[in-house]
Amino acid sequence: MKTLPLFSLAFLLSLAVQAQDVLTNASIISMNEAKVGKSLIQQKINTSKCEFDVTTSGLIALDAAKIAEPLIETMLTRSPSRETLTNEDVIRMNEAKLSRTLITKKIQVTPGRFDLSPDGLIRLSTAKVPEPIVKVMMTAKSTPVGAKEAKN
Backbone angles phi, psi at 135, to 5 degrees: -65, -40
Dist CA 77 CA 81 (whole Å):
9
Look at residue 55 in the predicted model and tell me its pLDDT. 95
Q: How far is CA 8 from the centre of its chain?
A: 37
How much is the average pLDDT of 45-57? 95
Of 45, 67, 82, the one marking the end of a domain is: 82
How much is the average pLDDT of 69-92? 93
- Over its C-alpha atoms, the chain yields an Rg (Å, rounded) of 20
Look at residue 14 in the predicted model and tell me its pLDDT. 45
Q: Domain check: are 35 and 95 in the same one?
A: no
Q: Domain check: are 72 and 114 in the same one?
A: no
Of 62, 82, 102, the one marking the end of a domain is: 82
The total of structural domains in the chain comes to 2
Look at residue 28 in the predicted model and tell me its pLDDT. 97
How much is the average pLDDT of 45-64? 95
Look at residue 42 in the predicted model and tell me its pLDDT. 96
- pTM, two decimals, is 0.78
Of 50, 67, 82, the one marking the end of a domain is: 82
Domain that holds residue 140: 84-152
Q: Domain check: are 93 and 78 in the same one?
A: no
Look at residue 5 in the predicted model and tell me its pLDDT. 56
